């Protein structure tokens, strides 16, 4: 029984990258320290060189570093959110591989945080279904 559509929670996926971005920034400034503040020097170049360096070299490098760090811990991650069929509370489910341990397949069983209803979140079809209940 299909209940509802799932949507991708880009905000939470973005948040997942924030710790790595902070680490990347720290590494960047650490590198800056090691190279004798040459990076800071480049950032303080007269315009437009400083602008070009900041946006086309430093920032992509930090972003690339952040993504690499995140990818080291979690792979092919996807965060899906959808409403509970019972009470409408938005529930979030994480799909992906954490430290090379897959969470096992494309469907997650999610228990509503509000009312405890069990749902199945399918990352392939992007649909919420209710599990078949075998009544005793």
Choose between 2 and 87: whose C-beta lies nearer to Zn ion.
87
Query: Would you list the DSSP string of 20-67?
Result: HHHHHHHHHHHHHHHTTSHHHHHHTSPTTHHHHHIIIIIHHHHHHHHH
**Candidates 3-11, 68-76, 105-113, 118-126; binding stretch for Zn ion (CB under 5 A):** 105-113
Binders of Zn ion: how many residues, by CB under 5 A?
8
Please give the Cα distance from 80 to 69 (Å, whole number).
22
**Candidates 5-13, 44-52, 72-80, 107-115; binding stretch for Zn ion (CB under 5 A):** 107-115
Query: Quick one: DSSP state of residue 132?
Result: P
Binding mask 58-97 for Zn ion (x = CB under 5 A): --------------------------x-xx-x--------
Q: How far apart are CB 118 and Zn ion at their closest, in Å?
A: 10
Q: Within the chain, how many helices (H) and strands (E) appear?
A: 4, 8
Summarize as ranges the residues that interact with Zn ion (CB under 5 A).
84, 86-87, 89, 112, 114-115, 117
């Amino acid at each position: 029984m299909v209940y509802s559509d799932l949507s991708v929670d880009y905000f939470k996926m973005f948040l997942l990258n924030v710790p790595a971005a902070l680490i990347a920034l720290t590494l960047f400034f650490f590198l800056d320290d090691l190279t004798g503040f040459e990076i800071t020097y480049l950032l303080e170049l007269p315009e437009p060189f400083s602008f070009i360096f900041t946006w086309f070299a430093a920032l992509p490098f930090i972003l690339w570093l952040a993504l690499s760090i995140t990818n080291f811990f979690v792979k092919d991650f996807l965060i899906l959110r959808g409403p509970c069929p019972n009470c409408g509370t938005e529930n979030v489910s994480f799909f992906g591989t954490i430290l090379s341990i897959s969470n096992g397949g494309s469907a997650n069983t999610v228990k509503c945080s509000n009312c405890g209803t069990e749902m199945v979140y399918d990352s392939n079809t992007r649909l919420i279904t209710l599990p078949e209940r075998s009544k005793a």
